[in-house]
Amino acid sequence: MTNERNCVLANGCRSAGTSACNRQCPHFIALHGATGNGGRSAAAGLPREYRLTTLANSPARTSQPAVYKSVENYVKTFERQFEQTEGYIEPADRIKSLYLFSANSGTGKTTTATALLNEWLRVHYSGSLKRGQQPLQRPAYFLDVNEWQTEFNLATMTNDEDGLADFRRKMTLAMSAPFAVLDDVGVRDCTPAFRGYLHAIVNARVTNQLPTVYTSNIALGRLSDVFGEKRLADRIGDLCWVSEFEGESKRGLRR
């Protein structure tokens, strides 16, 4: 039997907590794969340790009560994805972006961001079926920007064409996914070339009115200092709520 800790569909699922709630459930397989490490969760690029994280079971929930009250309200806007059609959407009606910030690492920003991505997967999958629609195979995407920058640096230094192809693949996915997490934005200086690629992602998402969750140890108002320009920072801040995490790092304390 599965529970709210090992299926992101448990919140709102009529089978949750019953004998029908198991890893043979076709909906569990659709979200997590037959082994629990595949499906739409894996297609979203989520690291394995976060594929079953939700707002309900997030270890950051107890230490960040104000943030979680805010993000729970944010998740309520996810139903709007079914109301929004092609064309211009008034700013007041859009699903906003979110900037999760703390001066310290290890306060739960990435955990919270991945929980939000899983909540999007849940709302998209369940809502699509209720409306007689086929759920997308990749309705959301997670990009570790710091890791992506390292991959870019290594591929360019070694003239690794395969590495550059994978870099571009991730870029394309991050540009077009209906919902995305850009984790660790602005953690270090970057070359003009890399900054241009990151700007392309952000600009595509803002232009196409696609909600994005950013995490960073840099305050939104200081991002321009890291990037060496205001243009990218301004695009990230467009229709974006800021939520600040408090406290010291909790890494190494998980049980």
Size of the chain in residues: 255
What is the C-alpha separation between 230 and 132, in angstroms, rounded? Answer: 44
Domain ranges in the chain?
45-244
What is the C-alpha separation between 118 and 69, in angstroms, rounded? Answer: 17
Q: Please count the other Cβ atoms lying within 10 Å of the Cβ belonging to residue 249.
A: 12
Q: Quick check: 50 and 144 in contact, CB under 8 A? A: no
Nearest-10 crossing angle of helices 161-176, 192-207: 30
- Cα 120 to Cα 13, 76, 177, 201, 227, distances in angstroms: 15, 10, 12, 20, 29
Question: The whole model's pTM is what?
Answer: 0.91
Per CATH, which fold does 45-244 belong to? Rossmann fold (3.40.50)
Average pLDDT per consecutive 10 residues, the chain (255 residues; last block may be shorter): 64 75 86 87 94 93 94 96 76 92 90 97 95 96 96 96 97 98 86 92 95 95 86 92 80 39
